[in-house]
Chain A
Amino acid sequence: MIASTLGIALTLRPGNPEPFTAIGLLNEDCKIGEYPKVVFNGSNIKLCVYVANYLGYPAYFKVVYKLAVTETLPSNTTYSPEQPLREWRIILGHSEEKTFPVNVSVYTLRGEMRIALVFELWVYDTSVNTWTYTGRWTHLYVNITV
């Protein structure tokens, strides 16, 4: 009786009870840890970005790269007001995830020596035909040296 009830419940359960997206930042070997801490002003650094889609349907994403300071970091509801420097677009099916290497330029921002490399995750909303900030972002603080 218990096995039968459990089996029926599992068969009838909703496909994706808790939809979510995810973004993560990895080092140049696409592994966690050993991130650059000090970067030359105007240099490029290699990192990896991880994106996952668990929305329950395929979605069109873009990862937006920005340089920011503490005051201009994004939040769960608002994106960073800083200028986008690069974008990567990707389509992911449900329960699909992808890690891809990125090469980003880093430089001092308004004379600040400690800046954040911000990667925001946006999704294309077909109902309004525009990009919508998912509220997911990741960042890495680096110290700029000349």
Chain B
Amino acid sequence: MEKFVFSVITLLLILSSTAILPVVFSSDFDSEISVLVEKAGELYSKGLNITVVLGKLNRAIALYEEGDVEDANMLLSEVNSLIGDMRALADRVYLVNMVIKVVTILVLAVIPLAVYFLLPRIYLYVWYKTRRKWILSR
């Protein structure tokens, strides 16, 4: 008997929980979001800061969950155009980052050579410089 009561309660709860499922996301919405996330990922891989883009996408999801589909779609359009604007800068940022990386590597590679060749010379120069007013006497 107890099991039967539990089963009935469970069935009712399952039905009620299905009814209170907040919003069923359409696969189109998921697909649209994922495309924008992928585009944002491309920008990220080129070194751009995409915090604003992700923030807006999360806001769009929240709006969709609240049932405000129209505003959510508007926000997605806004993100799309923002990504377009950022894409125009992406190649330049990538180039600058690459140049910085190459210069860093070159500087790091030159350090041992510089130390090998320059350190003795600098040491001698300083040694002579600090002793140039010395007077030799027997």
Tell me the A residues contacting B by CB distance below 8 Å.
1, 3-4, 7-8, 11-12, 41-42, 57-60, 83, 85-87, 89-94, 96, 105, 107-111, 124, 126, 129, 131
Contacts and interface: CB of A to CB of B under 8 A. Distances in A.
Contacts of A85: 17, 21
Given A1-B112, A111-B7, A129-B34, A58 B54 contact: yes
Interface string B15-33: 0010011100101001101
Contacts of B45: 57
A57 B61 CA distance: 19
B35 interface: yes
B14 A83 contact: yes
B77 interface: no
A108 B6 contact: yes
B37 A90 contact: no
Given A58-B50, A108-B9, A111-B7, A94 B101 contact: no
Contacts of B40: 58
Interface stretch (B88-96, B103-111, B124-132): B103-111
A87 B29 CA distance: 15
A126 B33 contact: no
B137 interface: no
Contact of B34 (A105, A107, A124): A124
A60 B109 contact: no
A58 B37 CA distance: 7
Nearest to A93: B54
A58 B58 contact: no
Contacts of B30: 60, 89, 124, 131
A108 B25 contact: no
A59 B37 contact: yes
B44 A94 contact: yes
Which of A11, A89, A110, A129 counts the most B-chain CB atoms under 10 A from its CB?
A: A89
A93 B58 contact: no
Contacts of A12: 105
Given A7-B108, A42-B13, A89 B34 contact: no
